[in-house]
Amino acid sequence: MSEGLERTAAAEPERRRQLDLRTAFDVAFVMIEPFFDPQQGWAGQSLELLAYRVLRENFPALSSDEVHTLVVAAHRVYIERHPEHSSHLPRPSELRRVNF
């Protein structure tokens, strides 16, 4: 990368919001990825409902909206990484909010 581009990139303010969720995402994804795997489901159904519970238990400071955001983001990442194993999953926009 050229020096000019490095300075430009460093000078731009952070546009992303909810940096705490971005930080939690990697850990959360590892925890809940198995719930999207069709081999881990019950009778061909995914276990994404359990993903909400696991995240609420492990990240008690997060609101239900933040937990939902993490589940939807993890769901999208799973579909992108495993397109051949994701046909059983509803699309991320179809996920309902779960309140515990």
What is the span of the domain harbouring residue 61? 18-94
Q: Which residues pair with 42 in a beta bridge?
A: 45
Question: What does the block give as tokens for 70?
Answer: 């993490």
Residue 98 tokens, joined: 């779960």
Q: For 31-82, how does the pLDDT look when each residue is reduced to its tens digit (9 = 90+)?
A: 999 988 877 767 766 677 889 999 999 999 999 999 999 998 998 888 888 8
pTM confidence score = 0.68
Q: How many structural domains are present in the chain?
A: 1
The reply to whether 63 falls in a domain is yes
Please report whether residue 8 resides in a domain: no
Within a domain: 5? no
